[in-house]
């Protein structure tokens, strides 16, 4: 399976699941649901975030979502993450192991649940192996997929 480029994986406020960036359209971004493969136009008013731009607050510095997902994969092996509907104390304990020193005042259980959902979506429909930032910078624009 090919590596996942988190710059092209999108979270859309108000929409369930993750989307893959397809192209820039006249009225916004064309994105495809990872789960259903259905394409839709996300207009200029849609709140869209690339997973590559998301980080988690800790007591020292912010930790990139890529690093959090990689740490989760290392802890879970190829197995599934706990359900976002699990007991909040269990969810907090899991993230305390994955991200020691996370900022309890700014990294809420609701954020943790969203990351558990995203982890499962990536595990099921993409790859938990990510394109390194160095690889993204070196890749020529005209390179084709293998």
* CA proximity to 18, closest of 145, 117, 142: 117
Q: pLDDT digits over 76-96, tens only? A: 997 899 999 999 999 999 999
Token pair belonging to 76: 């879970």
CATH of 54-125, one of 2.60.40.3080, 1.10.10.1650, 3.40.50.10490, 1.20.930.40: 1.10.10.1650
Overall fold of domain 6-51: SH3 type barrels. (2.30.30)
Neighbours of 91 (CB within 10 A): 20
Q: pLDDT digits over 39-50, tens only? A: 999 998 999 999
The answer, as to whether pTM is greater than 0.85, is yes
Contacts of 27 (CB under 8 A, 6+ apart): 41, 43, 44
Domain-by-domain residue ranges, the chain?
A: 6-51, 54-125
Query: 37 falls in which pLDDT band (50, 70, 90)?
Result: very high
- Rounded Cα distance between 31 and 46, Å, is 12
| DSSP, res 30 | E
């Amino acid at each position: 399976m090919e590596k996942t480029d988190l710059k092209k994986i999108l979270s859309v406020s108000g929409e369930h699941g993750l989307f893959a960036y397809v192209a820039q359209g006249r009225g916004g971004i064309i994105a495809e649901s990872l789960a259903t493969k259905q394409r839709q136009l996300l207009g200029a008013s849609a709140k869209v975030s690339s997973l590559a731009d998301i980080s988690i607050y800790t007591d020292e510095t912010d930790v990139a979502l890529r690093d959090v997902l990689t740490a989760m994969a290392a802890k879970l092996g190829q197995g599934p993450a706990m359900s976002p509907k699990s007991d909040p104390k269990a969810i907090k304990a899991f993230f305390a192991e994955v991200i020691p020193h996370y900022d309890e005042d700014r990294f809420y259980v609701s954020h943790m649940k969203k990351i558990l959902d995203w982890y499962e979506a990536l595990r099921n429909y993409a790859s938990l192996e990510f394109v390194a930032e160095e690889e993204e910078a070196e890749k020529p624009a005209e390179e084709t997929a293998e």
